[in-house]
Chain A
Amino acid sequence: MAVRNRSTLALGLACLLSAGVLGGVLVHDGEVGTDEALLDQVERGDEVRLKGALVRIADVAPGNHTYRLDTGDAATRVLVRADVAVPDGTYVVEGRVSSVGEPAVGQPRAVVVEASSISEPILFG
């Protein structure tokens, strides 16, 4: 295959590689591909991916921890149950919705997520 200019080819490939890496980091870090905007519609059994500030509120037993996840959505309160203990901070939580509490008037909707993974952002915490 005839290459017009190897430097241009290298620059183009570097751009493509950078785009792939940056895109991968953005998805991993929950900057895109998360479901906070859908929290008012999720139902029991839905798989969700949420990013927010995770605060541990209870250790029910070893391997059974409960967190509050602040996603910035005041209309929904998200509780996360996980078998791993992580320090408070910003995380991307993936899991299945185990229960949804319909709100009383003026109260936020409560969504409980059984976490299958909790990951820390690489760059965009």
Chain B
Amino acid sequence: MSPPWLSGPVPSPLWLAVIVLGLAGLALVAYALRALDVAGAVGSFVLGFVVAGLGGLGWLLLMVTFTGVGFVVTRTGRLRKEERRIAEDNDGERGLRNVLANGAAAALAAFAGQIQGVSRTVAALAFASAVAAVTADTAASELGSLAARARRVLPPFPAVAPGENGGVSWPGQAAAAAGALLIGMLSVPLLGLGWGHAWIPAVAGFVGCQLDSVLGASLERDAVRDGPLSKQDVNFIASAVPALVVLVGAALLL
């Protein structure tokens, strides 16, 4: 069983000080290592504070896990990505829009836990689903772009260059499944969920990643194609939709 100081709400002002110190440290390290620009670092601090204040330390640590996974996979195969011209701009440095695109749905799920009638377990499942979706998508995008071949996710499934929006590959799908599964499993000790519930964010995260690919293939604009959605819009929608589905479904069924 997960200890309440980890998976429960913030138990005291001193504990909040620990969280603020930790968040400040993470933001400064992320900025110093060029993982985030200034606005992104400030945004991640605020977002983390909101999540920790509403959920607790464990909720924050689940988001930190996503950040850590993102940091590692972005820098994996960097040279090969640069050769293929699919590396993230600015040496992989993320800004405020990236932070919000990947964290806003999770923060909204944490807010949902404050709504009367939404239990902590239901909010935790929605929160974990949002985090699982962005983790799965980041892992799939970054590791899938190193694959030898890829196909467009929509019929007639033509071959596309690995890393292209809307393209999917077996290594990318495996990375997505691994990322979603990791978050699902970590949500047990960190959010206080039961093992019987861990599959929910894992499945929701994987499905969210597929939604990201479909939107990427159909509605996302990029350098060669016009569309109504930016990359950040797609990231947000692909994490918010599974979180919302899980929130409503869990509220009705649990």
- Please report A residues at the B interface, Cβ cutoff 8 Å: 1-6, 8-9, 11-20, 22-23, 26-27, 31-33, 124
Contact = CB atoms under 8 A, between A and B. Distances in A.
A50 to B, nearest CB: 14
B22 A8 contact: no
Contacts of A32: 5, 11-12, 14-15
Interface in B68-115: 75, 91
A51 to B, nearest CB: 12
B203 interface: no
B154 interface: no
B3 A33 contact: yes
A9 B25 contact: no
B166 to A, nearest CB: 31
Given A4-B33, A22-B21, A15 B28 contact: yes
Nearest to B28: A12
A18 B5 contact: no
Contact of A5 (B24, B30, B32): B32
A15 B33 contact: no
Given A12-B26, A12-B27, A15-B24, A27 B32 contact: no
Contact of A26 (B18, B27, B28, B91): B18
Contacts of B91: 2
Nearest to B6: A33
A18 B25 CA distance: 9
Given A2-B91, A33-B4, A26 B24 contact: no
B14 to A, nearest CB: 6
B199 interface: no
A16 B29 contact: yes
A4 B25 contact: no
B12 A18 contact: no
Contacts of A33: 3-5
- Interface size, B (range): 20 to 34
16 contacts: A3-B33, A6-B32, A8-B32, A12-B31, A14-B25, A15-B25, A16-B21, A16-B25, A16-B29, A19-B25, A22-B17, A23-B18, A27-B5, A31-B12, A31-B15, A33-B3
Contacts of A2: 33-34, 91
Contacts of B27: 12
A21 to B, nearest CB: 9
Nearest to A1: B33
Contact of A11 (B3, B12, B28, B30): B28
Given A4-B34, A32-B5, A12 B14 contact: no
A12 B32 contact: yes
A36 B245 CA distance: 38
B72 to A, nearest CB: 11
Interface in B203-241: none
A16 B12 CA distance: 19
Contacts of A23: 15, 18, 22
B78 to A, nearest CB: 10
Nearest to B4: A33
Nearest to A38: B4
Contacts of A22: 14, 17-18, 21
